[in-house]
Amino acid sequence: MAVPIRTAVAALCAGLVAALCTTVPAQAERRHERTWSLSATAHAPRARISLDDTTGTLSLSVSRDGRPVLEPSPVGIVTEQADLSQGLRFLHRKDRLIAQSYRVMSGKRLAREVRMNETRLSFATAAGARLDLVVRASADGVAYRYVLPATYGDVLGETSAFHLPADAGAWLSTYRVDNEGQFAQYTAATAPTRSYGHQALFETPGGYTLLAESDLTGAYSGARLAHTQGTGAYRIQLADDRVPTDGPLTTPWRAMVTGDLATVTRSTFTDDLAPASEVADPSWIRPGTVLWTWLAGGRPAGQSLAAQQAYVDYAAERGWPYEAVDAGWYFKADEWDTTDPDWQTNSWLPELVAYARAKGVGIIVWIHQRDLDTAEERARWLPTLERWGVKGVKIDFMNSEARSMLQWYDAILPETAAHHLLVDFHGSTIPKGIQRTWPHVMTLEGVGGEEKRTNTAAHLTTLPFTRNVVGSMDFTPGGFHRVGLRPNSDAAEVGLTVAYESGLQMFAGTPESYDVRPLARGFLDQVPAAWDDTRLLAGDPGREAVLARRSGDRWFLGGVYAGAARTAEVPLSLGPGRWLVETIEDGTDGTDGTDGLVRDRRVLAGGDVLAVDVVADGGFAAIACPWRPGVTTCYR
């Protein structure tokens, strides 16, 4: 039977409408599958992940408020059996919100709140090899990692890179295995061809960005940044030529801490990305200030019980909770018969520990990594140190971020925690979330610190925005006796004890150098090593850094400067109300008996400008407390 024309036209129209209704969304879905976006809030950093349909390659870019932070940068990983950097096709996406609260024992603030959006994008090659790209975005950063759900042989490398605008400001340190390179300023493209440390800071139209890692363990390999002059590209270069795998693999986070300078400085993003604490009962973990004796007396002091007892006496007099015994206390250990159960009686350290305990001072001891290299060595040393009553260990000379050394970290971290030993790593990696997972790690070196004789004032004013952003930093400030060997003034040296955060803040000076600077010594008596909050009051990497850190109702300020003398104007952004502010500044002639330091008191309102006269390459320190009638000092 013939179909009426009107009916046929109606059916055709209905078919076209149906086709349009299905075709357009399908095209939109295909476009959606090629580009994905992720952000925590409207004004937070926004990650954009793109899949090239032709090559099957992935790239990631970051913007903030519509301005570029990171240009499209390659993402991918290559193994023996699978090239997961190209030929990828999209499978599916899964999103979730991460909301956490946790506490740490030291750092920029003890109480932390985490809120991050996460997307997991799954891809596969034509041969069926799987790659999951996990991306997280928070108010202060973007991070990504690779998850390989199956074994594809050893990892041969990553194609991961960070492409910055060529003219982006760059503060970089040449890579060293001990992470003690000095920071210098370039642009992203003009930096010389070489490898740089991972804690690289860039300034782009979208703000400041610090590159970092988190959750690095012995399952993988540490990374540095490889750069070729003339480009803005910084490529991930692993410490190992290949990374053995024997099952599914999750790589460390490649993190970008992003925001204005105050946001970057205050950020705990790398800790927020890390696994939760492995220490069930952290009540024995106590940060504190330390009298460090190496720069004060060197190896001879380390070999002398009498000298160490004198240092303990001084720490007790000052109320400093710890004294650190550096190299030399077991200098003749190779002569001991360690097969003898009583071999430890050859050391005078137990006597020192008992002497210090009676005076309320805890002992921290230096020990070479080679003496803790094996399970057998650790089984001899760690229980012995705990039995003696030693409070912590300063372990030195790891000097590697290869997988084998990272596995050593994985072994010693739970062992030191089990024996209630605080840890200070020297000649080490830098913090990569380690202090959240293992809160007894009080500090790490990984910095060109007070021991260096080639530091510059510019380097000192860059550290709060680079190395110290990612975790505690054992710079060992307070080396007042090193006149001519350090680039800064006495008041700046006092300021470093606050500007630099460390769970064990080791003072590097001699008792004599403190005693001839009673104003500096009095300030050091007040300085805590754990903070309730941290704020950047003024900053310009390489030129000035003024940080305020709160303990209870008191704010401690540390300011360091590079360049000519000036009157520094610091916004007192501590909160409403009136504040008594007591500063330690460089004087002019030293005739007041304080070796040139002067103390000033003034009452200011929150938001006022604190004006401080700063000498060339100088600085200041201050304590601010709520003012009310009758309050005449913030010192306690």
Do both 51 and 169 map to the same domain?
A: yes
Sign of CA dihedral 528, 534, 537, 541: positive
Do both 246 and 295 map to the same domain?
A: no
The verdict on residue 563 lying in a domain is no
The verdict on residue 575 lying in a domain is no
The verdict on residue 10 lying in a domain is no
**488's tokens:** 């800064």
Do both 126 and 165 map to the same domain?
A: yes
Of 488, 504, 529, which residue constitutes the final position of a domain? Answer: 529
Count of Cβ atoms closer than 10 Å to residue 578 Cβ: 14
Count of Cβ atoms closer than 10 Å to residue 454 Cβ: 9
Residue 396 falls in the annotated catalytic set: yes
| CA atoms of 614 and 608, how far apart (whole Å) | 18
How much is the pLDDT for 268? Answer: 98
Residue 71 belongs to domain with CATH number: 2.70.98.10
Do both 182 and 209 map to the same domain?
A: yes
**233's tokens:** 């590209």
Residue 310 belongs to domain with CATH number: 3.20.20.70
Residue 451 falls in the annotated catalytic set: yes
Count CA atoms closer than 13 A to 437's CA, side-chain side: 16
Do both 487 and 403 map to the same domain?
A: yes
| CA atoms of 241 and 528, how far apart (whole Å) | 43
Q: For residue 256, give the nearest of 221, 207, 216, 220 by alpha carbon.
A: 207
Q: How far is CA 38 from the centre of its chain?
A: 25
How many domains would you assign to the chain? Answer: 2
Per the residue annotation, which of 377, 415, 451, 533 is the catalytic one? Answer: 451
Do both 220 and 297 map to the same domain?
A: no
Q: Which of 31-45, 103-117, 496-510 has the lowest mean pLDDT?
A: 31-45
pLDDT tens, position by position, 120-149: 999 999 999 999 999 999 999 999 999 999
Strongest mean pLDDT among 21-30, 330-339, 524-533 = 524-533
The verdict on residue 26 lying in a domain is no
pLDDT tops 80 at residue 247: yes
pTM > 0.85: yes or no? yes
The verdict on residue 251 lying in a domain is yes
Tell me what the pLDDT averaged over the chain comes to.
92
Of 529, 561, 583, which residue constitutes the final position of a domain? Answer: 529
Do both 224 and 351 map to the same domain?
A: no
The verdict on residue 16 lying in a domain is no
Of 494, 529, 564, which residue constitutes the final position of a domain? Answer: 529
Do both 336 and 448 map to the same domain?
A: yes
- Which stretches of 466-553 are assigned E, i.e. beta strand? 504-507, 533-540, 544-551
Do both 87 and 132 map to the same domain?
A: yes
pLDDT tops 90 at residue 3: no
pLDDT tens, position by position, 585-621: 999 744 344 468 999 999 999 999 999 999 999 999 9
Domain range for 37: 33-273
Q: What share of the chain is helix, strand, coil (3-state, %, to 5)?
A: 25, 35, 40
Helix axes 518-526, 490-499, angle to 10 degrees: 0
Per the residue annotation, which of 213, 396, 493, 586 is the catalytic one? Answer: 396
Whose structure tokens read 């349009």?
20
Do both 241 and 353 map to the same domain?
A: no
User: CA of 264: how far to CAs of 469, 534, 560, in Å?
Assistant: 7, 12, 18
Using pLDDT thresholds of 50, 70 and 90, give the confidence band for residue 328: confident
The verdict on residue 493 lying in a domain is yes
| CA atoms of 499 and 468, how far apart (whole Å) | 9
Phi/psi for 12 (5° steps) reads -65, -45
The verdict on residue 576 lying in a domain is no
pLDDT tens, position by position, 347-394: 799 999 999 999 999 999 999 999 999 999 999 999 999 999 999 999
Do both 196 and 309 map to the same domain?
A: no
Instruction: Kindly state the average pLDDT of the residues 341-348.
Output: 62
Contacts of 534-537 with CB under 8 Å at 24 or more apart are 534/108, 534/109, 534/265, 534/266, 534/501, 535/262, 535/266, 535/573, 535/574, 536/261, 536/262, 536/265, 536/266, 536/464, 537/570, 537/571, 537/572, 537/573
Do both 170 and 198 map to the same domain?
A: yes
pLDDT tens, position by position, 284-323: 999 999 999 899 877 676 778 999 999 999 999 999 999 9
